[in-house]
Amino acid sequence: MKHIPGPWYVVAEEHVDGVDTAAISTQPNDRSLKNEVLGSSEWLRAEYADLQLMAAAPELLEALKALVSIEHRLDIPQKYFDLMHKAIAKAQGGK
């Protein structure tokens, strides 16, 4: 499973129909949402903190992959690497 490459940005925060809304885009300040990652040309109604976490996902995945690529050189308990491998698999469509 392929994802849209990052970085992603939380954009288009506005007050629409009494609800603060935002979306995730591949371009900062993309008020037009031409480069929208999450949504379907409609306003996405979600908690801002959730959108920030989703927007950080590509960088977080890249960081985890970098860490596991050198896990044999790091003195970190295996249980943390197990969590990293599980998160990477989940992000890539596994369980």
Give a yes or no: residue 65 inside a domain: yes
pTM: 0.64
CA distances in angstroms from 13 to 25, 32, 45, listed in the order given: 12, 11, 10
Peptide bond connecting 7 to the previous residue in cis, omega within 30 degrees of 0 = yes
Give a yes or no: residue 70 inside a domain: yes
Query: Are 16 and 46 a contacting pair, CB within 8 Å?
Result: no
What is the percent of the chain where pLDDT is above 90?
A: 33
pLDDT of residue 83 exceeding 90: yes
Tens digits of residue pLDDT in 31-76: 655 555 555 444 455 566 777 788 898 999 999 999 999 999 999 9
Give a yes or no: residue 4 inside a domain: no
Q: What is the span of the domain harbouring residue 57?
A: 9-91
Please state, as a whole number, how many other Cβ atoms lie within 10 Å of the Cβ of residue 10.
21
Give a yes or no: residue 2 inside a domain: no
Give a yes or no: residue 3 inside a domain: no
CB hemisphere CA count around 84 (13 angstroms): 18
Give a yes or no: residue 51 inside a domain: yes
Domain count along the chain = 1
